[in-house]
Amino acid sequence: MEPSHIPNRQPGDLVWLIPDFLSRELALAVREAFFNQLGEYPHFIVSNLHRSKLDLNRLIDVAAQGNAEAEQAYYEYHGFINHALEVVKQDYGKGMFVDIHRHGHSIQRLELGYLVTMDQLRLSDAELNSGAYSDSSSIHSLVNTSGMSLSELLRGPSSLGTRFESKGIPTIPSSTQPAPLPSESIFTGYGATWLYGSRNGQSSIDAVQFESHYTGVLESQQMIDDYAEVISQVVTEFVRDFYGFDLTSTAIDDELIPEQGPSISFYPNPVRNSASIKISNMMPGESLLEVYDILGRRVDVLEIPNQGSPSIQIEWRPNALTAGSYFLVLNSDSRIHLQPMVLVR
């Protein structure tokens, strides 16, 4: 989308204006491929703004160049990611974040970014496995919990890259393409990978940047769908082997699928002066309903009456809050249930 009321970003240092052609289509196909394979969707966040208006992989001053509406979209996008990561950490303790892009390099291969530089990839395995490179990588947590070295996870037989290679997708780094030649250039991770990966122990979520090529994988919708199926298979196998989660079990064993939990709805939307919030399928036990802004700050707490009923209705007046995007967060039965909302004045 290129709305005229958001001015075009001006060229300059670190300012990219060309979109990742077909990356959105690929991400949507990956989402559907996961559902077709597992009967479950991954957390999925996508930007619908053209990069000439907003670049979400840069710091906000470069990303939005001071435009208030672009800044709001920036905070909402990263707010959704932060909430998704918190849900994953609460439910599983650890997880994997994938940032999907498309590159324009001449060599047609998938480039995987782990915040390991090209010069570092050219080091020997022994040099690469020193603590400093592992600590600063976006999979630092996985190195600590898997019992495998950084080089094994980047380009060993069980690495993501080698798994893609085995399914016919040329990939770097991998066992067959461990590092770029000095004359070559690849993307090694940036922006979201740096923000949300486990570098320096900042999180239990590992992050990988997927920079896809065009030839053979994005040339048609059928190719995109087939490629997305490979991505879902490889990531599912990788998560099973290194995180201990057999995602396929939920698709084949109904006993492992949890019962439907609470749901939140509210009217009107957008909210102006007041809203009627309805919570259905309440579970026995204490519950807490909170309101968070897009920066993850708690701005209000709503008391839930103990009526012993599975459906509860609350009237809410956000008198002290300014216009913007917020999240209703229900903590119930040791799980988080999230509902985005918009407040207008």
By three-state DSSP, how is residue 206 classified? strand
Structure tokens at 263: 């749901």
Looking at residue 125, its pLDDT comes to 96
User: What is the amino acid identity at position 183?
Assistant: S
User: Would the CATH topology of 23-250 be identical to that of 259-343?
Assistant: no
Q: Which two tokens stand for residue 96?
A: 């994997």
The domain spans of the chain are 23-250, 259-343
| Residues 281 and 261: beta-carbon distance below 8 Å | yes
pLDDT in the model for residue 167: 96
Residue with tokens 């998704």: 84
Question: Tens-digit pLDDT profile for the chain (345 aa)?
Answer: 999 999 999 998 777 777 788 998 999 999 999 999 998 899 999 988 999 999 998 888 999 999 999 998 898 888 889 888 888 888 889 999 999 999 999 999 999 999 999 999 999 999 999 878 999 999 999 999 998 999 999 999 999 999 999 999 999 999 999 999 999 999 999 889 999 999 999 999 999 999 999 999 999 999 999 999 999 999 999 999 999 888 776 544 444 334 456 677 777 877 888 888 888 776 666 567 888 887 778 899 887 766 566 678 888 898 889 888 788 888 765 556 677 777 877
Q: Token digits for 174? A: 């991998």
Q: Note the pLDDT of residue 214.
A: 95
What 3-state DSSP class applies to 154? Answer: helix
Give CATH for domain 259-343. 2.60.40.1930
pLDDT of residue 252: 40
pLDDT of residue 165: 97
Q: What's the pLDDT at 257?
A: 39
Fold observed for domain 23-250: Aminopeptidase (3.40.630)
| Integer Cα distance of 115 and 232 in angstroms | 22
Q: What is the DSSP letter of 159?
A: S
- The answer to whether the beta carbons of residues 211 and 187 sit under 8 Å apart is yes
Q: Which two tokens stand for residue 266?
A: 């509210």
The tokens for 165 are 């290679």
Structure-block tokens of residue 310: 């599975």
Alpha-helix residue ranges (DSSP H) falling in 169-260: 192-196, 221-243, 249-252
Q: State which amino acid sits at residue 290.
A: E
- What pLDDT, on the 0 to 100 scale, is given for residue 334? 53
Query: Residue 43 pairs with which residues in a beta bridge?
Result: none
Distances (CA, A) of 226 to 77, 142, 282: 28, 28, 41
